[in-house]
Amino acid sequence: MHLTAAMVKKAAREAGADDVGICKVETLETFPPNPQAPQVPSRTSTKFKSAVVLLVRMAVGEFRAKNKLCIMHVSQMALRRMDRAANRLIRFLERQGYPALQTAAQETAWDLKGGSYGLLSTRHVAVEAGLGNLGLEMNLLHPRFGPRCDVTVVLTDADLEADQRMTETLCIGESCGRCLLACPPDAVLHWNLDKRRCATYAQPLGISGLFRYFREALRAETPQKSWEYLSAPAFYDKWKSLHWQIGAFASCPRCIEVCPVGDDYLPHLADRHRTIEEKTDDKVVKLKLYRDARKHNEPIPGLDPWRLRWIGEEGYKPKKKEKATSREA
């Protein structure tokens, strides 16, 4: 039996994905997000023909939690659900005679570029597969779930029909700027992100913090002092970050929860996020500068012609209701 894109999408949804998109590997090879350090499937293998993107939505309830621990826990659960769905899809594809592989999206390829930079950028693949496009803060925005979603990519030998990219921008842009105003370390730039600032704030228990802590413990004046380091509650938090990735990943929800894009925002999140407590005069001035730059057609590095592909080549167009719901399962 000939394997079609519709059959693969049905299998992905049954496996637990909330939305699915497909693009050709050839497209990903031709349009890497950064041609200087290309994140392309051939870094993993030259055998694959299609990329299937599985999207899992975040539970809106997590954004009502006062405690970050709950947010981090629910985020990890969403990632596990996503990985489980990808695994099931891989087994389905293999049963049909097509080997498949889930990309190591959370891994860092140190030989490509400094900082966290993987073999593939799943959000860029998701845009190529028609699932949405990138917002001012460079999160993937989906028509129904806004930035409140996670994606993973399964590469397969199957030659599947690709989805069309969305060319209209979902992000409202500088006239909104809520993600910029809400970002605690002020890491959101003009369609760009200061990744170091974001990571330092959003990953308090990341690997560099862990190294620092161990160094302090090893350099302590006495064995007793070293033991005090290793038996302190702070060490327990670090152990959890290694074991569950709690605190080591995605512990800041602010740009995600305040974004008005997505059908889940008005009914479940708008009331709670009407006021942005992190808003400062400096951020308001910065956003105005960005707005003016756009108004006066000044060059904006984040919107250079190559990058527009993932942001939306037709600019902002108000979302049509039927468009937002057309992908429903």
Query: By the criterion CB under 6 A, which residues form the site for ligand SF4?
Result: 135-137, 171-173, 176-179, 183-185, 187-188, 193, 198, 201-202, 252, 254-255, 258-261
Nearest distance, CB of residue 34 and ligand SF4, angstroms: 19
Task: State the amino acid at position 15 in one-letter form.
Answer: A
In whole angstroms, how close is the CB of 227 to ligand SF4 at the nearest point?
34
Cα distances (Å, whole numbers) of residue 122 to 12, 153, 185, 293: 16, 6, 25, 30
Neighbours of 55 (CB within 10 A): 26
Q: Using the minimum distance from each CB to ligand SF4, give the nearer residue, 129 or 182.
A: 182
Minimum distance between the CB of residue 228 and ligand SF4, rounded to whole angstroms?
Answer: 31
- Written as six digits, the tokens of 123 are 């959000």
Of 87 and 200, which CB lies nearer to ligand SF4 in the complex structure?
A: 200
Q: Which amino acid is at 120?
A: L
**Residue number with the smallest Cβ distance to ligand SF4:** 135
β-partners of residue 55 are 19, 151
Calpha distance 21→5 (Å, rounded): 9
CB of 24 to ligand SF4, least distance (A): 28
- Our CB check for ligand SF4 shows the closer of 201 and 235 to be 201
Distance CA(296)–CA(151), nearest Å, equals 36
Max CA pair span of the chain: 70
Q: Which is nearer to ligand SF4, 16 or 184 (CB)?
A: 184
Of 259, 272, 18, nearest to 149 (Cα)?
Answer: 18
When the beta carbons of 120 and 193 are compared against ligand SF4, the nearer one is 193
Please identify, using beta-carbon distances, which residue of 225 and 320 lies nearer to ligand SF4: 320
Minimum CB separation of residue 3 from ligand SF4 in Å reads 36
Exposed (0-12), middle (13-18) or buried (19+): which is 73, by Cβ within 10 Å?
A: middle
